[in-house]
């Protein structure tokens, strides 16, 4: 008797929720039906159920027993005969029952291949049980992390032959190190991490991952010597493993946890060895629509109006990691029409957009932003995107491209939208050229979104205002409803899941142009823009706070009261 498919379970969930089993009407703006989503993990992510609730429903539908996390942790594990990659990718946890027989906890009973593989290893008498994806992940983290390197493991070899590059290369290509690094990437994908930080201590490695904008410590790599792990990452990124005195940058494309990922690697020598920061760029992520970026209605209308201009320069500002590239990619997707020629020079190319000619900057061979811009104007483009204005040469060429009939999009590192004007003047742009070309500036930050499953609301009290005067400084008053994080298994106990943007858009009107001509400071421009209707980032954030999208603490963390 065959096991029902994940699609059958999806249809069951839809009927249980009172939804039609057929395809939703895309013209009505509804989501794609759950029945079209392959695999139970994707189905769980698309549903509104917690991990435990979803597992309960799976167990009832498939008629299989349910096992909870305490039972998995208390049972003797049978993971030694399986590869870590198989256990993590298939979300299975083999263990021993109290009567001595074998059992396997499955998150997806419709995956008959995983069960069949487990039976081949453990024998025919294997009892299948259902556990949640998160419980299995936790159990695997605990049990797979218990293996410690023995005295005769390669760790001793690396200590004795630290300068032997051939031995180091062999060690980095060995099964324990390869598995440890692969497990690290799989964990990062599961946790939705954007960056992996690997930092050497005296005798170990400290691993942290940036999740929703904040670093979170994860279990250190066990069973693999630190230098061998760094060497493995260097080999993947095409770097020189013999060079340990100078910084190195590289890139690679890997496949992990059924996803294709581009990674950018930065190696830096430190006191106790080399540290590595790995930026992860999943290839299968779709471009965001402008509605999902988080613009308020009037700011979205303002941005769309700026994009209808035939030429000029639009600048997106903010610190590193504030979502500028995502905003630009979304803007490009709006402009991407067969009637337009769009060229970009980026470092790195984070979003691949069909129909747009995208170039990767390579300063080592002379392909800089400025060099590419000079070549672009001979390619008859309508729209040019420059990843970042870093120097005076790039700024001058971008401004002259905007003067000669092109719409130029770029980024800049400034605190506010108004501060982009004096920054460009500092880079040597003449005021009369800037007033003629600059059309608008979008400043942004990213705040963590409250988890919809567990967020709570309460009225703001006088005691809250007295305890933190910043609440009153940004415009919150006693009696207002605020939303706060709580924490559940879906959000990993943080109370937040995902991020949203807070924005301010400066339109260059006649009054602001006059200030540009007089080379006024950013505070004067800011004051005029606010008087003329610009919504500041703090006001944008407060609107999202009152709507329950984020918390007041998050707004105060990323924005400054002006």
Instruction: Evaluate whether residue 198 is within a structural domain.
Output: yes
181-240 per-position pLDDT tens digit: 888 888 888 888 999 999 988 777 889 999 988 999 987 776 677 888 888 899 898 888
Its pTM stands at 0.67
pLDDT confidence of residue 16: 59
Select from 299, 298, 331, 530 the least CA-distant residue to 418. Answer: 530
pLDDT confidence of residue 28: 37
pLDDT confidence of residue 292: 85
Give the Cα separation of 493 and 329 in Å (integer): 32
Give the Cα separation of 201 and 272 in Å (integer): 6
Residues 278, 300 within the same domain: no
Question: Position of tokens 């567990």?
Answer: 454
Instruction: Evaluate whether residue 482 is within a structural domain.
Output: no
Show Cβ contacts of residue 28 under 8 Å, excluding neighbours closer than 6 positions: none
Residues 311, 393 within the same domain: yes
Instruction: Evaluate whether residue 553 is within a structural domain.
Output: no
> Per DSSP, which regions of 323-392 are E strands?
342-346, 357-360, 383-386
Residues 275, 299 within the same domain: no
Phi/psi region, residue 313 (left: phi>0; alpha: psi -120 to 50; beta: rest), is beta
Instruction: Evaluate whether residue 510 is within a structural domain.
Output: yes
Q: Six-digit token pair at 291? A: 């509605």
Give the residue from 258, 282, 306 where a domain finishes. 282
CA angle, 68 then 49 then 8, to 5° = 90
CB environment 499-534: b (16+ within 10 A), e (fewer):
bbbbbbbbbbeeebeebbeeebebeebbebbbeeeb
Give the Cα separation of 521 and 515 in Å (integer): 8
Dihedral sign, Cα of residue 52, residue 54, residue 56, residue 59? negative
- CATH code for position 131: 3.30.300.160
Q: Are 143 and 39 in contact (CB under 8 A)?
A: no
Residues 199, 218 within the same domain: yes
- CATH code for position 178: 3.30.450.90
* 153-156, long-range: CB < 8 A, 24+ apart: 153/223, 154/225, 154/228, 155/225
Query: What domain range is 64 assigned to?
Result: 6-16+35-141
DSSP for 527-557 reads HHHHHTTPPPHHHHHHHHHHTTSS-HHHHHH
Residues 299, 387 within the same domain: yes
Give the residue from 218, 247, 282 where a domain finishes. 282
Instruction: Evaluate whether residue 455 is within a structural domain.
Output: no
DSSP helix/strand/coil, 392: helix
- CATH code for position 405: 3.40.50.300
Residues 444, 304 within the same domain: yes
CA angle, 436 then 441 then 442, to 5° = 165
Instruction: Evaluate whether residue 274 is within a structural domain.
Output: yes
Residues 294, 278 within the same domain: no
Instruction: Evaluate whether residue 329 is within a structural domain.
Output: yes
Q: What is the 3-state secondary structure (H, E, C) of 402-432?
A: HHCCCEEEEEECCCCCCCHHHHHHHCCCCHH
Residue ranges, the chain, pLDDT below 70: 1-7, 9-39, 145-174, 222-223, 257-258, 283-288, 561-562
Residues 321, 431 within the same domain: yes
Cα→Cα distances 349→312, 387, 460, Å: 23, 9, 44
Instruction: Evaluate whether residue 230 is within a structural domain.
Output: yes
pLDDT confidence of residue 535: 93
Give the residue from 246, 261, 282 where a domain finishes. 282
Beta strands at 312-317 and 438-450: parallel, antiparallel or unpaired: parallel
- Report the number of distinct structural domains present in the chain: 3
Residues 206, 251 within the same domain: yes
Residues 228, 332 within the same domain: no
Residues 295, 331 within the same domain: yes
Residues 312, 212 within the same domain: no
């Amino acid at each position: 008797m065959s096991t029902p498919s994940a699609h059958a379970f999806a249809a069951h969930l839809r009927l249980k929720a009172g939804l039609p089993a057929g395809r939703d009407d895309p013209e009505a703006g509804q989501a794609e039906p759950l029945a079209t989503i392959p695999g139970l993990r994707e189905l769980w992510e698309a549903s509104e159920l917690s991990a435990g609730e979803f597992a309960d429903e799976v167990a009832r539908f498939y008629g299989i027993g349910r096992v909870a996390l305490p039972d998995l942790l208390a049972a003797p594990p049978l993971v030694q005969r399986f590869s870590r990659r198989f256990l993590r990718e298939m979300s299975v946890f083999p263990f021993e029952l109290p009567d001595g027989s074998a059992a396997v906890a499955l998150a997806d009973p419709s995956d008959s291949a995983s069960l069949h593989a487990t039976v081949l290893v453990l024998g025919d008498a294997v009892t299948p049980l259902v556990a949640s994806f998160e419980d299995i992940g936790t159990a695997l983290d605990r049990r797979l992390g218990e293996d410690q390197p023995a005295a005769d493991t390669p760790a001793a070899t690396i200590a004795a032959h630290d300068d032997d590059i051939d031995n180091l290369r062999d060690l980095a290509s060995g099964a324990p190190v390869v598995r440890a690094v692969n497990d690290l990437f799989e964990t990062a994908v599961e946790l939705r991490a954007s960056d992996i930080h690997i930092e050497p201590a005296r005798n170990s490695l400290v691993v942290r991952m940036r999740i929703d904008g904040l670093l979170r410590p994860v279990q250190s790599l066990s069973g693999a010597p630190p230098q061998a792990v760094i060497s493995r990452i260097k080999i993947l990124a095409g770097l020189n493993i013999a060079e340990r005195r100078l910084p190195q940058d590289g890139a690679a494309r890997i496949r992990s946890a059924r996803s294709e990922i581009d990674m950018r690697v930065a190696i830096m020598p430190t006191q106790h060895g080399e540290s590595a920061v790995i930026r992860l760029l999943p290839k299968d992520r779709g471009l965001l629509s402008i509605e999902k970026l988080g613009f308020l209605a009037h700011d979205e209308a303002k941005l769309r109006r700026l994009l209808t201009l035939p030429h000029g320069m639009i600048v997106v500002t903010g610190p590193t990691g504030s979502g500028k590239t995502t905003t630009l990619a979304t803007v490009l997707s709006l402009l991407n029409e067969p009637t337009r020629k769009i060229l970009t020079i980026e470092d790195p190319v984070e979003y691949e957009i069909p129909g747009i000619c995208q170039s990767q900057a390579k300063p080592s061979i002379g392909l800089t932003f400025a060099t590419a811009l000079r070549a672009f104007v001979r390619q008859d483009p309508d729209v040019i995107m420059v990843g970042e204005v870093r120097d005076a040469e790039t700024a001058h060429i971008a401004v002259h491209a905007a003067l000669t009939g092109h719409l130029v999009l770029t980024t800049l590192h400034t605190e506010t939208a108004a501060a982009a004007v004096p920054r460009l003047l500092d880079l040597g742009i003449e005021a009369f050229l800037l007033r003629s070309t600059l059309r608008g500036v979008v400043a942004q930050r990213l705040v963590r979104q409250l988890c919809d499953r567990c967020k709570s609301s309460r009225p703001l009290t006088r005691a809250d205002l007295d305890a933190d005067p910043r609440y009153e400084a940004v415009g919150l008053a006693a009696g207002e409803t605020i939303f706060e994080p709580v924490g559940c298994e879906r959000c990993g106990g943080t109370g937040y899941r995902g991020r949203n943007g807070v924005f301010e858009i400066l339109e260059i009107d006649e009054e602001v142009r006059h200030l540009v001509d007089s080379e006024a400071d950013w505070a004067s421009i800011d004051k005029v823009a606010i008087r003329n209707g610009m919504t500041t980032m703090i006001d944008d954030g407060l609107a999202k706070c009152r709507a329950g999208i984020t918390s007041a603490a998050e707004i105060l963390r990323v924005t400054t009261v002006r």
